[in-house]
Amino acid sequence: MSESEKAARLSVFKTYKLFVGGKFPRSESGRVYEVTDSKGRWLANAPQSSRKDARDAVVAARKAFAGWSGATAYNRGQILYRVAEMLEGRRDQFVREVGDAEGLSKSKAGAVVDAAIDRWVWYAGWTDKIAQIVGGANPVAGPYFNLSSPEPTGVVAILAPQESSFLGLVSVVAPVIATGNTAVVVTSEASPLPALSLGEVLATSDLPGGVVNLLSGRTAEIATPLAAHQDVNAIDLAGAEEVLAKELEIAAADNLKRVRRPQPVDWAADPGTERLTSFLETKTVWHPAGGSGSSGAAY
């Protein structure tokens, strides 16, 4: 290609889309909003999700729940590790996008992306171990076996952190799906582009469609119907400011959702197991010991 031809070539700008049900739709409303970097320079137009998009994402998450929660913990771990593999292969792209989104130098953005990749590996390793931490046999008075085991809560709505948008996003999404839940994620309003690109990684990582659904747009507009949705079982308010968090908590009480309140977090710190256990329910089974033909009861 000659120098004149290179000069005449137009850049191919990326079209960012939502990630719902394993597919990449534009917003149902057709709306977009401008995303700028830390210096106010235009980066891209991101889809501005509507309430209908939020409802569609919940339908997709519910449809995927049975298969994902029924998969073996080992298989879920393999898929989360595959996410890390695919993210590693696209590291340069994410370093650029995270640097633009969060106003970081190339080296600092690289450290954030590396930490996000490591975070996927961390949670991949916990998928088949968390049951031993939070479950087990319970001592009881009487001739019974009493066993407790964790089960996923269901469909979890997640408001991703507004700051430290990429590592924070991974840190709230990975533990939710590692334990068998499915997720509807509202990305950072100001910095949604790395999150939307993550959808492309998830789509090529053997993750079943609908396990993670990514919505960009105005946080309050999308979060309000999710908090009140009767088929959402829990909500993580990590990215909600104080006034909005209180409103969403009230809306969530309509069908007794499990609510994780926002709190200051150092996303670069050791994540521990707290977020793994936040959206697990405990099933306890009683069974007569020593008899034959007896049936147990679960509570």
Q: Which pLDDT score is estimated for 200?
A: 97
Q: What pLDDT is attached to residue 134?
A: 82
Q: Which residues span the domain enclosing 75?
A: 21-27+46-298
Report if residue 168 sits inside a domain: yes
Q: Is 18 exposed, middle or buried (0-12, 13-18, 19+ CB in 10 A)?
A: buried
Alpha carbon separation from 134 to 71, 80, 247, 253, 296 (Å, rounded): 19, 21, 31, 26, 21
Q: How many domains does the chain have?
A: 1
CATH of residue 216: 3.40.605.10
Establish if 225 belongs to a structural domain.
yes
- Has residue 152 been placed in a domain? yes
List the one residue out of 219, 199, 222 whose CA is nearest residue 211.
199
Within a domain: 4: no
Paired strand residues for 49: none
pLDDT tens-place values along the chain, 299 residues long: 566 656 677 788 889 999 999 999 999 989 999 999 988 999 999 999 999 999 999 999 999 999 999 999 999 999 999 999 999 999 999 999 999 999 999 999 999 999 999 999 999 999 999 988 886 677 777 887 777 778 999 999 999 999 888 999 999 999 999 999 999 999 999 999 999 999 999 999 999 999 999 999 999 999 999 999 999 999 999 999 999 999 999 999 988 899 999 988 999 999 989 999 999 988 778 778 875 544 555 55
d(CA 207, CA 213): 11
CA geometry: angle at 167 spanning 74 and 86, to 5°? 50
Q: Give the pTM.
A: 0.90
